[in-house]
Amino acid sequence: MAKSPRVCDYENSKYRSEFWEGQGREYEDQVERIALHRLMPPKGATLIEIGAGFGRLANEYKGYDKVVLFDYSRSLLREAQAHLGDDHRYLYVAGNFYQLPFVSGLFDTIVQVRSLHHASDPETLFQQVSRVARPKGHYILEYANKRNLKAILRYALMRQKWSPFELEPYEFLPVHFDFHPKWIDKQLKAYGFQNQASIPVSFFRIALLKRSIPLPWLVGLDGLMQHLGRLGLFSPSVFTCNRFKEEGVISKSDTFFACPQCATPIEDNDSLLVCSKCKTGWRKHDGLYDFKEPIAIEERRA
């Protein structure tokens, strides 16, 4: 049996309060929103954010008819649900991004910010993304850049053993990975995506600079640096816009979900979604679709 990829679970974590709110990360938040605006199509029918967490970026998707906030952590999705209220454009879905529980060819736009660095098997993730992307759809991907200025300097001074120029991903902490821009481009191309743009982001992610320089100035400088495009890909974070190939499956039915185990389309019922093929059930409770843990359903006798 093939070994399942490792996952990073933020269930019941205080990620929102201990990492973002009141933690001096207003600079990172604002420059990431600038990059997202520059690369993401402003409107469309369907959008999914993979690794949406507590919904930090959800208010950037106002031009979309249906928005899926997808994460492995139920508790973070509940925080997003409480924050966004009863806006029916949003769907909250818990699950594993190696087994996306959606029908093929569903999404116009796929956004993934600050979650690829938790992918121990990015190739499987990219295969899943390509499956649920519509032809000519967009994949806005952010990743932690292995070839950043700090790593290059430390390597040159022999203060780190690993090379920022080697293409393979580097695991700097358990289930925390940095990626080389060329490696990312190669992998996405193999799964049908063509890079449209890559921009450097968060050049000034240094505590001393954030304390010394007023926030609007720092954000403005970063916005200017983003115009360097591929010439400036030495920042700690890189945002990319990738266009999916023209041919492929387009979801034309009203069915939204598919079994993450066998990919069979599943009808959306009140509290339990059941796969007709593998007889596996998935919970739906208070507006949260839970594809994280399956429920065995005994096949009814005629």
Any idea which residue has 């994949």 for tokens?
139
Q: What is the pLDDT of residue 298?
A: 62
SS (H, E, C) 52-89: CCCCCCHHHCCCEEEEEEEECCHHHHHHHHHHHCCCCC
SS (H, E, C) the chain: CCCCCCCCCCCCCCHHHHHHCCCCCHHHHHHHHHHHHHHCCCCEEEEEEECCCCCCCHHHCCCEEEEEEEECCHHHHHHHHHHHCCCCCEEEEECCCCCCCECCCCEEEEEECCCHHHCCCHHHHHHHHHHHEEEEEEEEEEEEECCCHHHHHHHHCCCCCCCCCCCCCEEEECCEEEECHHHHHHHHHHCCEEEEEEEEECCCCCHHHHHHCCHHHHHHHHHHHHHHHHHHCCCCEEEEEEEECCCCCCCCCCCCEECCCCCCEECCCCCEEECCCCCEEEEEECCEEEEEEEEECCCCCC
Task: Give the Cα separation of 128 and 180 in Å (integer).
Answer: 21
Any idea which residue has 């990738």 for tokens?
242
Residue 291 CB contacts under 8 Å (≥ 6 apart), including other chains = 93, 94, 95, 96, 99, 101, 257, 260, 282
Tens digits of pLDDT across the chain (302 residues):
457 899 999 999 999 999 999 999 999 999 999 999 999 999 999 999 999 999 999 999 999 999 999 999 999 999 999 999 888 999 999 999 999 999 999 999 999 999 999 999 999 999 999 999 999 999 999 999 999 999 999 999 999 999 999 999 999 999 999 999 999 999 999 999 999 999 999 999 999 999 999 999 999 999 999 999 999 999 999 999 999 998 777 777 678 999 998 889 998 877 889 988 988 999 999 999 999 998 877 644 33
Task: Give the Cα separation of 213 and 221 in Å (integer).
Answer: 11
Task: Give the Cα separation of 287 and 289 in Å (integer).
Answer: 7
CATH number given to 15-294: 3.40.50.150
Q: What is the pLDDT of residue 243?
A: 97
Task: Give the Cα separation of 50 and 253 in Å (integer).
Answer: 22
Cβ–Cβ under 8 Å, residues 81 and 288: yes
pTM: 0.95
